A and B are shown apart, each in its own frame.
Chain A
Amino acid sequence: MITLTLNGLAVQVEEGTTLLEAARFYGFPIPTLCYNDGLRPYGACRLCVVEIGEGPRAKLVSSCTYPAEEGLKVRTASERVLKARRMVIELLLASCPQSKVIQDLASAHDVRQQRFKQEYEDCILCGLCVRMCEQQMMAKAIGFRGRGESRSIGTPFDIKSEECRLCGGCIYICPACQLRCTFTEPERAICGGCANISPPCVEKEQFGDMMCYMEPCVACEIEKK
């Protein structure tokens, strides 16, 4: 067992536990976007940062990837953490304002404005879909492409993957893309993307084929950019 301090409280966890798991176990909430219990931690969204160490050596690390260490002093909600977290949320809000998940995060952290040029993206590249496809669906149909600004998720050369079984796992797990339907049966497939009382997608015969993440949602005629 490893003993560490969480917000001043001395706690014990098993070796190999991450700081996020430890904090959640002991009841300290830490927001996450790219983390999912069923997938390997990735550390991409930076929402789960916590402060470790003391004095000039204190620093922020992503709690989802950081292993608990003996004697480590962890602060999950220090001023530095909250300030950084609010900036992360502001950046998220500037890119994907339509996401209900992100709106709720902003609301919960008292982020009431965003000061950047407004964008309307439908992906924050958290990689949940990629990991879902690889680790749970054993398909590896989609992956990351490019780097920096031009990084995107998809298949090589945008050619439809033969590995994809249209399972919809990627769509199910996506925190940002609230425009897509999250159910596989037509009668429950209301995504909120259109304002129609009876969504046109439900009427379409090929409904089953439309679930793939890779295609624009032709069903309700809202095009993916």
Chain B
Amino acid sequence: MRKLLSVDEFIDFRRRVHDEATGRGEELTLVVCAGTGGQASGSNDVIRVIKRYILDQGLQERVRLRITGCQGFCEMDPFIVVEPGEHLYPQVRMEDVSRIIEAALDGRVDEELIYREPGELKPYHHQGDIPFFGKQTRTLLGNNQKLDPIRIFDYVEQGGYAALEKVLANPDPEWIINEVKASGLRGRGGAGFPTGKKWELGRASGKRGVQKYVVCNADEGDPGAYMDRSLLEGNPHAIIEGLLIGGIAIGAAKGFVYVRSEYPLAIKHLLIALRQAHELGLLGEDILGTGLSFDVEIVRGAGAFVCGEETALMRSIEGKIGEPRQRPPYPVRKGIDGKPTVINNVETWANVPVVIREGAAAFAKVGTPTSTGTKIFSLVGKVKNTGLVEVPMGITVDEIVYDIGGGPSGRGRIKAVQTGGPSGGCIPASRFDLAIDYDSLAEAGSIMGSGGMIVMDEDTCMVDVAKYFMNFLKDESCGKCFTCRKGTQRMYELLDDITRGEGTPQHLELLEELALAVADTTMCGLGQTAPNPVLSTLRYFRHEYERHILDKRCDAFVCRDLVGAPCRAACPLGTEAWRYVALLEKGDYDGAYRVIREANPFPSVCARVCHHPCEDKCRAGITGEAAVAIRALKRFVTDRVDAAAYVPVGADNGGGKRVAIIGAGPAGLTAAHYLSLAGYGVTVFEAADRPGGMLVSGIPAYRLPRDVLENEIDALLDERVTLKLDAALGRDVTIDGLFEKGFEAIFLATGAHRSRRLDVPGEDAKGVYPSIEFLKSFNLRGQNLARGRVGVVGGGNSAVDAARVAVRQKGVASVTIYYRRTRAEMPAYAEEIEGALDEGVELVTLVSPVAVEQKKGRLTAVKFIKNELGERDASGRRRPVAVPGTEYAVPLDTLVVAISEEPETDAVAAAGIDVSKWGAVQVNPATFETNRPGVFSGGDAVRGPNTVVEAIADGKKAAVVIDRYLRGEDLRVPADVRLPEVFVEAAEVSEEEAAEAARAEPRYLAIEKRKKNFAEVELSLAEGAARAEARRCLRCDLEFTQPEREAEEVVAVGEEQA
């Protein structure tokens, strides 16, 4: 490169580069992202293969390869974009390269390798059509894709140094500053100080001719943020051009780039760019003959987070310890070596050439009036598309997280995003409609920061998040000022106590007081913003702190000392799943049974119908493999072991007192069992002609065989329990009457037995049945209500049960389930839906009934309307919205309405007990007390339709509470942390076995054998399969129970030597 000696030569040079580019026309180009992220994902291998292929096939003249810096779509690295056409091939493997090049040479798109949204089939041929890119405005990042960072020609081709040309053609610092001011550009490092104003102050500061400095702050230290690195790596000339313009504007002849030495690629690219700019005559003495001089020096930071703070950064450049000092004086007055210094962030500098080239007005058009332009965020965490996104200011969090980010990466719904790294705060999902700019974020308790955006879902514990950041900050505080050093350390201590279950309400009070004091009294930005993670989580997620402190629960299952083994913590009954799985593996089936039965009076029932929250939280499932099939293992044990293996231990301290229980469902029977064991006389009143509640009237026999259920119930009815059937509350017994008869406490466990209505015209026609009535008629009385063409409306288990019962009834031609959302949103168990479809049930989704048509009072058809998914509701699910004009009628002979159930509590309300407007009995959730002394309630009567295991858990807790009540003790049961205590030797599993092991899938009865009968569908595991499955358990308990053998061995060796 020849050194250019005048501005005219420079103009000529740029024109020549452009002409050459136009002359070349559009060439077939492979673009490979090779930023640090891309390289880590293997882009260097892909590049090597591409080069080899081009050489081997002699394609040098036909195919160009452009190796770029980070393009932002890091989730899909390494990817290749083929130009022209911009076909994006994600996550390219080395063996795919030849196919992509061949397709490109033929002008085709390889349909198999082209980009698709995860889990979807629709291919996206054009990069711009991909949702990730769709909503972005890639003013800065777009260039990263267009140029090779080590080729200055590429930069010039893309309009680079046009801004410099504009400035040098007529150097007028005032004009530059006014332009930057008019653009509204604000500091991208986070605080958002107007850049033009800072420059103006810098220009006015100091005597004429004094040495001044401009500094590019590239000390990017926020965990999870890397946009500065990507800009330096991908487009270093933009930073140099920005610094040059800034230097001319404020009268500085020297610029520094303060960059972390952990960014070797950024430093390398910047060094190359600096050398090129020198060679071309754009840096150094007498630039392009204008008499102006400017040079840039790179200073490498050793990695202290605090050096991103401007006063600390300046001291570090001076060669001293990177410690902040109190401002004022501000750097624009007294900066490096006491000279006026203007410090801006990388992204700010990168925006400067855009402002000058496009003009202030054009720049200010993007964004909001107070925050103009675009901002790059690094979107990371529990989101599908992680990467760098550049969006106009004013975009909502929702758009970034869902439209660009693609929504949650796991099963859990997204509950918050953390912006601004350790100095920032979190924004809860309820505020995702927040339009992002500097001021709105500050108002929400966070900061823009450098633009880190960490997405968090339900598996993220907010207390743990605050603790993580505080741990980071207590190490990264420089330690100069006392309240920052001690304050962060003390906040960490308090948070640590809370996550270990040692927190008290006073902890929370002190934490808040301390956080506010630290924010108020510290010297620099680090300390002043350090309490933000604590304050913002306290503001939006105080209930999580309270759960940790009062209930000793971490609902995200993160805090080790509160969770123990996740399977046990997840079980409402506290069943030690890890323990019976371990005993099963050893072949001790009786022992395993005892562990199950100790916690659960309905082991065989739960082995069949439990919704197994233990499996949802199983670490084997969360770490990528499949969860251990805990329920199937329980089934194996309960099928094999006689119930007599467990003899419950009773006490006799009832003192002759008697308790009445209304409702013989799982909650009522469980309470009766445990109260009887405690020594009380118990009478259970049941409205139906047999005990079991929903277990017998709602759940069909093919899921829960009646003999299994009867055996289990019989075992619970001992001599102290009296069962009165056909005795309904309000009709046969009353609350007052029971107290008069000498019962001292009453437990209401009447369940939720009223089906909710559809509220559509014609609903009362013959042939339309509420699901409870439909199921009860069959399960209790053997009546077949379904005939002909059957429709079921709803998506829960009740709907699927009704459909599978109907399909087994005589005279049924077809059964179809109609659901308003999509299958993915159906609340019914996946295996039940699968089973129903196997048995011939059809499923129609995204429809809602609008009217029932009838003839002579009898159902003839149902009119449905089609839905589409609209906006997300608070649960993160998209709401069904009816599409006008899509109504259609379906001829039906039977319609079962299974949209939901509610408690039937008129008799309860009549006795003066508070019920909610949808019928639920109102209780104190901690003690189950109703507003009437001595009357308690639990199960579905309180919760509405819920799971069997929750009802059993309520019954168990009710027994404890009622016992305490009758003894006159405090009803509140102190929260305790349930950690594994018993040590069971671990199985020896080789790595090969672990790698090959797959989850044992349950066996099902053949479909033809299920026809028109109620034989049990799910079958027990074979012994070999069960024991092999048990070996897949990761044994989370060992972390707590394993004796410290290693330490003993060390001692033993030492003694031997002695």
Q: Interface on A for B, CB 8 Å cutoff?
A: 42-46, 49, 59-62, 65-67, 69, 80, 83-84, 87-88, 91-92, 94-95, 115-117, 124-127, 144, 146-151
Contact = CB atoms under 8 A, between A and B. Distances in A.
B523 interface: yes
A65 B481 CA distance: 12
A115 B483 contact: no
A88 B510 contact: no
B485 A149 contact: yes
B479 interface: yes
A147 B304 contact: yes
A151 B485 contact: yes
Contact of B485 (A61, A65, A148): A148
Nearest to A61: B326
B521 A88 contact: yes
A92 B485 contact: no
B479 A148 contact: yes
Contact of A88 (B304, B478, B488, B517): B517
B479 to A, nearest CB: 3
B321 A144 contact: yes
B144 to A, nearest CB: 34
B489 A60 contact: no
Contacts of A87: 483, 513-514, 517, 521
B521 A45 contact: no
Contact of B481 (A46, A95, A149): A46
A66 B489 CA distance: 27
Given A84-B520, A144-B321, A149 B479 contact: yes
B475 interface: yes
A92 B486 CA distance: 9
B482 interface: yes
Given A49-B521, A80-B520, A115-B506, A91 B482 contact: yes
Contacts of A80: 520
Given A62-B326, A91-B490, A144-B479, 11 more contacts: A43-B325, A43-B480, A46-B481, A46-B482, A46-B483, A67-B329, A84-B521, A87-B521, A91-B483, A147-B476, A147-B479
Contacts of A60: 520-521
A149 B474 contact: yes
B521 A124 contact: no
Contacts of B514: 87, 91
B523 A43 contact: yes
Interface string B500-521: 0000001000100110010011
B517 A117 contact: no
Interface of B: 304, 306, 321, 325-326, 328-329, 473-483, 485-490, 493, 506, 510, 513-514, 517, 520-523
A113 B321 CA distance: 36
A46 B304 contact: no
Nearest to A146: B479
Given A147-B306, A151-B479, A65 B517 contact: no
A44 B480 contact: yes
A36 to B, nearest CB: 16
A123 to B, nearest CB: 11
Nearest to B472: A148
Given A49-B521, A149-B475, A115 B510 contact: yes
A159 B474 CA distance: 27
A25 B319 CA distance: 37
Contacts of B304: 147
A43 B478 CA distance: 13
22 contacts: A43-B326, A44-B480, A44-B481, A45-B482, A46-B482, A46-B522, A46-B523, A62-B523, A67-B329, A87-B483, A87-B514, A88-B521, A91-B483, A94-B486, A95-B486, A116-B493, A125-B482, A147-B475, A147-B477, A148-B489, A150-B475, A151-B485
A87 B516 CA distance: 10
From DSSP, what is the main secondary structure of chain B's interface residues? helix
A135 B482 CA distance: 22
B520 A65 contact: no
Contacts of B325: 43, 65
Nearest to A117: B493
Nearest to A41: B326
A148 B328 contact: no
Contacts of A65: 325-326
A148 B477 contact: yes
Contacts of B482: 44-46, 88, 91-92, 124-126
A139 B325 CA distance: 23
A49 to B, nearest CB: 5
Contacts of A91: 482-483, 486-487, 490, 514
Contacts of B487: 91
Contacts of B479: 125, 144, 146-149, 151
Nearest to A34: B482
Nearest to B473: A148
A152 to B, nearest CB: 9
B223 to A, nearest CB: 16
Which of B329, B485, B489, B517 is packed against the most chain A CB atoms within 10 Å? B517
Contacts of B522: 46
Contacts of A124: 482
Contacts of B493: 116-117
Nearest to A69: B328
Contacts of B476: 147-148
A83 B481 CA distance: 18
Contact of B490 (A45, A62, A94): A94
Contacts of B517: 83-84, 87-88
A116 B490 contact: yes
Contacts of B486: 91, 94-95
A150 to B, nearest CB: 8
> What 3 A-B pairs are tightest by C-beta distance, nearest first?
A151-B479, A87-B517, A65-B326
Nearest to A62: B326
Contacts of B520: 49, 59-60, 80, 84
A105 to B, nearest CB: 13
Contacts of A67: 328-329
A175 B107 CA distance: 79
Nearest to A144: B321
Contacts of B474: 148-149
A144 B477 CA distance: 14
A180 B473 CA distance: 33
A88 B328 CA distance: 23
A92 B481 CA distance: 12
Given A94-B490, A148-B478, A46 B485 contact: no
Contacts of A116: 490, 493, 510
A88 B490 contact: no
Contacts of B329: 67
Contacts of B506: 115
A125 B485 contact: yes
Nearest to A60: B520
A65 B480 CA distance: 14
A99 to B, nearest CB: 13
B491 to A, nearest CB: 10
A148 B492 CA distance: 13
A62 B514 CA distance: 18
Nearest to A124: B482
A40 to B, nearest CB: 11
A74 B274 CA distance: 48
A148 B326 CA distance: 18
Nearest to B326: A65
Contacts of B477: 147-149
